[in-house]
Amino acid sequence: MKLDEPFKRPSLTEALNAWKKLLAERGFATDLLWVFEENLCFEKAPAQSGGFQPGFQTQFSPPPADALDVAFEHFCETSAPAVFYRLGECRGRSVCILLCDPWFAGKRESDGFLRRDDWRIMFYPGQKVEVEAITDLSRWLRRVKRRHALHDLDFCVALATIDELKTHGRVLAPYERFAEILLNRLRRFLRQPA
């Protein structure tokens, strides 16, 4: 996929219809559960030396109802490939993540990615695996946060980014996030509403 070639992103509805059709053809659930960065839970895999197993949670940081719409709209503003990624299945639902980064431009069908270059979208249906929903707070707090090798899932959107897009209409720069934190702390100190 060349990032300088012309493309036209579909609507989210059109992309979701294509995604569900592909999942049905592969025998996967078409009832989708969308998760974001804060929902992912990497734990050390007991059977593998140095390996990690992904899980997810939506109990401790539930995504807002419009999070997928906001993320897709934001990704449509970039020329980077967007990826509909299936992590696995849980309780009869496909657990999915929307990813986006130029890093995916070199991914091929041999890597498990089905390409729609005219949309600059890829689909990764994955394997028939069960993904555990983490409901134990102590497991969630002990999850591995950053000590794993670079993975496709490192390119998912964070719920904090969704909040910034909804509140400010754009993603904040790091210095703006820091200033916002300082202002909120000052307001709490002065007992003013945020």
Give residue-wise pLDDT tens across range 74-121: 888 888 899 999 999 999 999 999 998 888 888 999 999 999 999 999
- How confident is the prediction for the chain on average, in pLDDT? 85
What range does the domain containing 43 cover? 12-157
Instruction: Give residue-wise pLDDT tens across range 42-51.
Output: 877 766 555 6
Q: Is residue 170 part of a domain?
A: no
Q: Is residue 94 part of a domain?
A: yes
At 11 the pLDDT is: 95
Token look-up 């994955």 returns 126
> Per residue in 2-13, is it b (16+ CB within 10 Å) or e — as a string?
eeeeeeebbeee
Number of domains in the chain: 1
Q: How far apart are CA 72 and CA 7, in angstroms?
A: 16
Q: Output the six-digit token pair for 135.
A: 């409901």
Q: Is residue 182 part of a domain?
A: no
Q: Is residue 190 part of a domain?
A: no
Contact 96, 75 (CB under 8 A): no
Which DSSP state fits 63? P
CA nearest neighbour of 127 among 148, 104, 143, 111: 111
Instruction: Give residue-wise pLDDT tens across range 145-169.
Output: 665 555 566 667 777 777 777 777 7
> Per residue in 51-87, is it b (16+ CB within 10 Å) or e — as a string?
ebbbbbbbeeeebeeebbebbbebbbeeebbbbbbbb
Q: Is residue 114 part of a domain?
A: yes
Q: Is residue 65 part of a domain?
A: yes
At 151 the pLDDT is: 59
Helices within 12-156 (DSSP H only):
12-25, 67-76, 137-141
At 150 the pLDDT is: 52
Q: Is residue 68 part of a domain?
A: yes
Q: Is residue 79 part of a domain?
A: yes
